[in-house]
Amino acid sequence: MKILIWNENEHEMSNALVRRLYPDGIHGALAAAFKDDGSASVSTATLAEPEHGLTEEKLRNTDVLIWWGHKAHGKVSDEIVARVQQRVWEGMGLIVLHSGHFSKIFRVLMGTPCSLSWREAGEVERLWVINRNHPIAAGLPPFIEIQHEEMYGEPFTIPEPMETVFVSWFEGGEVFRSGVTFQRGAGRIFYFRPGHEAYPTYHNLQILQIIRNAAHWAHNPLPAWRTVNDAPNVPHGQAPVPLQVKGPRLHEDGEAGYR
């Protein structure tokens, strides 16, 4: 399983607190989740690299993409967002973390605003496993407590998820659907809430275990879905049951059609 961890890597460059928490970048901390996982090979990419490190070739050789972004969502090029979306449709898994709820790729895949309420007050977050038999929750206790996290509160304007694996409660009283799954085309998508850059959340071994579980869940080894350019006309003589044309027609047998 080839995992690519993408991080905008801007807070680490501009803020001493974040750099102290994540000297190897958030992508470096996330990579540690897989260091004892013999079935995973991990690479990382950041916004500053050519094509944001998300070249056609790199994405073709990626089974699961993990995404952390926050202040630089607008700097991600639309062309590369479309490229990532195409790979998700084809079957690449996508794990979107924390402030990635407002990333272009997540919003375009969801088709909804993906907005929420929030507060940065170092609150306790109690992350409840509400779907204990789900592979993403494998090996976890009934809940995980994170001592300091940013609050994200409902309503979270996403489409109704395929599955809800985690719900968070925060010290200030709000709740949030913190771990939710979707499928787009052949691609499995997991959104996972924790991971504010001002706190050491990605050094928490239980959080890393969830991200590792999610990567295995999102890995789809089956053949890719058809692309938009693979939409063939089937002439009437080649139908599974060959038939005569009835009524008027605008298209020729075998023509490409419109896109």
Residues lying near Zn ion in the complex (CB under 5 A) are found at 99, 150, 196
Task: From 80, 153, 148, select the one nearest 115 (Cα to Cα).
Answer: 153
Residue 151 or 208: the one with the smaller Cβ distance to Zn ion is: 151
Tell the smallest beta-carbon distance from residue 135 to Zn ion (Å): 27
Residue whose CB is less far from Zn ion, 8 or 150? 150
* 62 versus 99: smaller Cβ distance to Zn ion: 99
Minimum distance from residue 222 beta carbon to Zn ion (Å):
34
At closest approach, how far in Å is the CB of 79 from Zn ion? 27
* CA–CA gap between residue 225 and residue 243 (Å, rounded): 28
Q: Among residues 113 and 141, whose Cβ is nearest to Zn ion?
A: 113
CB atoms within 10 A of CB 239: 9
Q: Element (H or E) spanning 12, and its range?
A: helix 11-14
**Least distance from Zn ion to the Cβ atom of residue 150, Å:** 4
Instruction: Pull the structure tokens for residue 59.
Output: 């994405």
Closer residue to Zn ion, CB minimum distance, 148 or 184: 148
Output the smallest distance, CB 16 to Zn ion, in A.
Answer: 17
CA 136/CA 50 separation, integer angstroms: 33
- Residue 46 or residue 99: which is nearer to Zn ion going by CB? 99
**Minimum CB separation from Zn ion for residue 210, in Å?**
17
- At 18, phi and psi to the nearest 5? -65, -40
Q: How far is the CB of 98 from Zn ion (least distance, A)?
A: 6
Rounded to whole angstroms, how far apart are CA atoms 97 and 66?
A: 7
Report residue 248 as tokens.
């008027």
Sheet order of strands, 41-46 included: 41-46, 2-7, 64-68, 93-97, 187-192, 175-184, 163-170, 117-129, 143-153
Which residue in the shown chain puts its C-beta closest to Zn ion?
Answer: 196
Between 118 and 143, CB nearer to Zn ion? 118
DSSP 194: -
The string of DSSP codes covering 121-189 is EEEEEEEEES-TTSGGGTT--SEEEEEEEEEEES----PPPSEEEEEEEETTS-EEEEEEEEEETTEEE
